[in-house]
Amino acid sequence: MRLVTLILFASAFCFGQTNTAAPTAPSQATTPTPEAVMAPAAATASSADPNAVTIPAGTKIPLVLKQAISTKNGREDDAVYAETAFPFVLDGHILVPAGTYVQGRITHIERGGHIKGRAQVLMHFTSLIYPSGYTVMLPGYVDNTPGAEHSSVKDAEGTIRQDSQTGEKIEKVAGAAGTGAVIGGLSDGLKGAGIGAGIGGVVGSAIGLFGRGSDVRLDPGSSIEMIIQRPVTLDARKIQTVARANP
């Protein structure tokens, strides 16, 4: 009897020991591996186009006009056609070859006034067209007009304005007055000279009143300088294709 009791007691003790064993350790948080940490960055890097190259804002590119532009017969929204006169090179690579077409349009045009106001024209460039047909949109305007006579760029927007003609108008009035004085003097002495000068002055003033100021005119082949307003992204593969086609 005592032996049976001891056996039961030992069995109960072992069972209790089994149930009170150390609790299972809580699951540990998974520590990200270096590969997992680098994965987003790698994905970001791979999403960027490795063939993209950029023409910086403020870049100046010399152009040659392909057609005449005049405030006498030009209209707003008329097309402007030009081509690059010299290749644009960045970090040893040609990004814009010579002979690349540049297209734009006239955004404002104004003829010279009868009494005041000078002729002026404003144009903006909108696209580059490579010889292969590869086309890139761009924002550009005129920075300088080294090929234009009697006109210049007047503001930061690239408005081309006719130079002042005040001296020419004064010369016309003075010339007309002098001619009138000579004619009057020949006909009626000093009194006639004064009358003739007055008539000549009136004629000269009428010339200035009814005649317009000179127009701005840029002939085909005129040199102008385009400035890029904002960065322009290009596809290097397409530029290289153009370079191989036009060595």
pLDDT digits (tens, 9 = 90+) for 190-246: 555 555 555 555 555 544 545 567 888 999 999 999 999 999 999 988 886 554 545
CATH of domain 52-162+216-245: 2.40.128.260
Q: Which amino acid is at 194?
A: G
Q: How far is CA 237 from CA 53, 134, 164, in A?
A: 10, 11, 49
Check residue 194 and give its pLDDT.
53
Range of lowest pLDDT (12-26, 30-44, 114-128, 161-175): 30-44
Token pair recorded at residue 141? 């305007």
Query: Which tokens in the block code for residue 147?
Result: 């090929």
- pLDDT, position 228: 95
Instruction: Count CB neighbours of 61 within 10 A.
Output: 25
Average pLDDT over residues 46-57: 81
- Token readout for 214 is 């000179």
Over the stretch 95-123, which tens digit does the pLDDT of each residue have?
A: 999 999 999 999 999 988 655 678 999 99
Per-residue confidence at 34, pLDDT binned at 50, 70, 90?
very low
- What is the structure's pLDDT at 160? 86
* Confidence band for 35, pLDDT divided at 50, 70 and 90: very low
Report the percent of the chain where pLDDT is more than 90: 39
- 8-state DSSP, 87: -
Tokens of 201: 């002055």
Q: Band of the pLDDT at 156, cuts 50, 70, 90?
A: confident
- Ranges 77-81, 85-89, 239-243: which has the least confidence: 239-243
Which residues does 157 contact at the CB level (< 8 Å), separation at least 6?
A: 122, 141
For residues 140 and 227, is the Cβ–Cβ distance under 8 A?
Answer: yes
Percent of the chain with pLDDT over 70: 53
Average pLDDT score over residue span 81-90: 95
d(Cα 76, Cα 67) in Å, to the nearest integer? 15
